[in-house]
A and B are shown apart, each in its own frame.
Chain A
């Protein structure tokens, strides 16, 4: 494979995979993750993932971790732009990767962020054609998610706990819900920092495996259990069929203006 991969390992055993680095969700700084890691638990020279939007207290806690970051961390994938400011204060050059889960939707926006960070991971809700245009126009190499469950919503509220409390149900950290008209299902995952709604299907972005201008291809195994990450990876890149595949928004262009009355499809 010509491109480099970042793999979120989930609860699977860590094993070396060629051309891949692990991306460790950082304990206390992530939502929607089954497995997170403290800095003590990860090897030196690792990538860490911070997907929370951080309040003032949390970003101060992150700042307190910087001495350990210097020792253990090579690169950081983050969603809160405040993290970049914290990293800039440290006397070490980290690889900075901004993940605009829903916000990096044009080459103009991507290039604006690329003036601030080393690379970006594109939004998950844009089409194949949009991604191709952005790849062609990006001024630096950029990243893409190629496998995982697409996150569709992130709330600071503890939606599952509130639901359980209200109806006096057993508290669970994951539930599957279904919108009855569209029949769309969502996997709801909660921790103390909030709730994330995911697509229960596996996003398949393998069409981008051999694209040019790629910094990292992101693989998120948060919800996948496998005996061997290495074997799963080899199967994945060689095109083996996924159990519940989804193309996400690759072929689904959204609209935002309703057609005039009488002209609806």
Chain B
């Protein structure tokens, strides 16, 4: 089984993730998840998400991956039973108590071990396999040799992160946030203190900020060594990021499986992903411990981009008019491109923009304003218009 696994911070993102090619999503409930300050899913939302996913023959995993303190256990058993009743496909856990409780309750859902448990070797993998854990999300520090060995030794389903932000520490082995901000990192309150800068005697400021992970060039090798699930980080990310990243990995994986992947494809999707990211990215630990090029040395080094120009709401086939919701400033004369899950990306020069009243305007400059453009190629609802930066 090969799976592309996407993050989803809410129902809208869940739908985009599936639409753009994810086989499964992972989400957080209102409790017990490591993104305590995200919007997260109510039980009602989880039920809707699961129902939507199953209608597409896709899966939903729910993170229950905090490190439990005494007070957090209250309500956990009921919560797990409810997730099981709803039909959630798996929970992602890190605390051994939750692993054992889930097995004791004889729930139907699978138990996947979170990266927070830092599994990095075959013996740790065997420990959890014997407890009935069906899948391991390996530590991001696992090299290709580690992944291969763990697969060969245990045969257990392996899930590896392929894209997104990295902790500087082993995930789960850091309480800097607790110390500096009093926010508990291992219960979802992480303040990302590893992205701060620190004073260091008379020397330049000390920084340990990690660049992001990007495995687009290594997917083929990951498939060969037995990775089952390719996981994208980012439950706090927006729909544009999810659509772009998931579609890129979907296309790469499909082309590998169809034996049609070219170097040109890899280069193109690498450029797309780099353009979409707000930090530089590297394969990090896949080929060994990263050197200084895996880090930033001036603290946070993030850039935001305004590439997401509009979301397709509708397309009039007869008149070739697209109805678009604006997301960032664009104007007549701009070179843009459209992309979506069921089409090849194409370029387009904006010749005319009409507002909601069909009056001609020169610029689309109000957030979420509805505009109309004439586009000859057919589009579908939820296709996306973005800035054009390069040709394929």
Residues A29-66 near B (CB distance < 8 A): 53-59
CB neighbours (8 Å) of A105 from chain B are 67-70, 186
**Residues of the B chain whose Cβ atoms lie less than 8 Å from the Cβ of A255:** 182-184, 189
A68 to B145, CA, bound (A): 27
A56's closest neighbor in chain B, by CB? Answer: B149
Cα-based distance from A128 to B127 in the complex (angstroms): 31
Q: Would A55 and B182 count as touching, CB distance under 8 A?
A: no
> With contacts A176-B200, A252-B182 known, what are 6 further pairs, Cβ within 8 A?
A102-B67, A112-B97, A133-B70, A166-B295, A166-B297, A255-B184
Q: What chain B residues lie within 8 Å of A125 (beta carbons)?
A: 175, 178
- Check if B120 sits within 8 Å of A80, measured CB to CB: yes
| Residues on B with beta carbons closer than 8 Å to the beta carbon of A184 | 179-180
B150 near A56: Cβ-Cβ < 8 Å? yes
Given A86-B123, A162-B295: A180 and B198 within 8 A (CB)? yes
Question: Once bound together, how far apart are the Cα atoms of A82 and B121, in whole Å?
Answer: 7
Q: B95 to chain A: which residues have CB within 8 Å?
A: 103, 109, 112
Report the Cα distance A43→B196, complex, angstroms: 44
Q: Interface code B147-191, partner A: CB below 8 Å = 1, 0 otherwise? A: 001100000000000000000111011111011111110111100
Binds A, one of B10-18, B213-221, B248-256, B286-294: B286-294
- A54 pairs with B121, CB closer than 8 A: yes
Q: For residues 99 through 126 of chain B, which have their beta carbon under 8 Å from a beta carbon of chain A?
A: 99-101, 118-126
Is B276 in contact with chain A by the CB < 8 A criterion? no
Flag whether B378 is at the interface (Cβ < 8 A): no
**Could you say which of B119, B184, B197, B204 contacts A167, with CB atoms under 8 Å apart?**
B204
**In this assembly, does B73 line the interface, its C-beta being within 8 Å of a C-beta of chain A?**
yes
A237 within 8 A of B: no
Find residues 225-265 in chain A having any chain B CB closer than 8 Å to their own CB. Answer: 249, 252, 254-258
Q: Which 10 A-B pairs have the closest CB atoms?
A: A256-B189, A82-B123, A82-B124, A85-B123, A177-B198, A162-B292, A254-B184, A256-B187, A56-B149, A108-B97
B contact set with A: CB distance below 8 Å: 36-37, 66-70, 72-73, 94-97, 99-101, 118-128, 139, 141-143, 145-146, 149-150, 168-170, 172-176, 178-184, 186-189, 193-194, 196-201, 203-204, 206-208, 210, 285, 289-292, 294-295, 297
CB distance from A118 to the nearest CB of B (A): 16
Q: Which among B72, B94, B99, B203 has the greatest number of chain A C-beta atoms within 10 A?
A: B203
- Whether, in the assembled complex, A134 has its beta carbon less than 8 Å from a beta carbon of chain B, the answer is yes
0/1 string, A147-160, CB within 8 A of B gives 1: 00000111111110
Q: Does A207 contact B (CB under 8 A)?
A: no
Interface of A is mostly: mixed
**Contact A182–B169 (Cβ < 8 Å):** no
Cα-based distance from A53 to B200 in the complex (angstroms): 28
Knowing A102-B175, A112-B96, A159-B168, the reply to whether A55 touches B120 (Cβ < 8 A) is yes
With A54-B121, A102-B174, A163-B297 in contact, do A157 and B208 touch (Cβ < 8 Å)?
yes
Given A156-B285, A182-B180, A184-B179 in contact, is the A55-B142 Cβ separation under 8 Å?
Answer: yes
Contact across chains for B172 and A109 when beta carbons are under 8 A apart: no
CB closest residue in chain B, given A109 = B97
Contact A153 B176 (CB under 8 A): yes
Residues in chain A near residue B69, CB distance under 8 A? 105-106, 126, 130
Task: Give A83-109 interface residues, CB cut-off 8 Å to B.
Answer: 83-86, 101-103, 105-109
User: Is A113's CB under 8 angstroms from B173's CB?
Assistant: no
Residues of A within 8 A of B172 (CB): 102-103
A-B contact pairs, 21 of them (CB 8 A): A55-B143, A56-B120, A56-B149, A59-B123, A80-B121, A82-B126, A102-B173, A102-B174, A103-B94, A106-B68, A107-B70, A152-B176, A153-B169, A153-B194, A155-B170, A166-B292, A167-B203, A167-B297, A186-B176, A254-B178, A257-B188
Contact yes or no, A53 B292, CB < 8 A: no
With a cutoff of 8 Å between Cβ atoms, the chain B residues found around residue A167 in the complex are: 203-204, 297
Q: Whole-angstrom distance between the alpha carbons of A133 and B72 in the complex?
A: 14
Counting CB contacts under 8 A, is A165 at the interface?
yes
Taking a contact as CB atoms under 8 Å apart, the answer to whether B127 and A81 are in contact is: yes
B150 contact set on A, CB distance < 8 A = 56
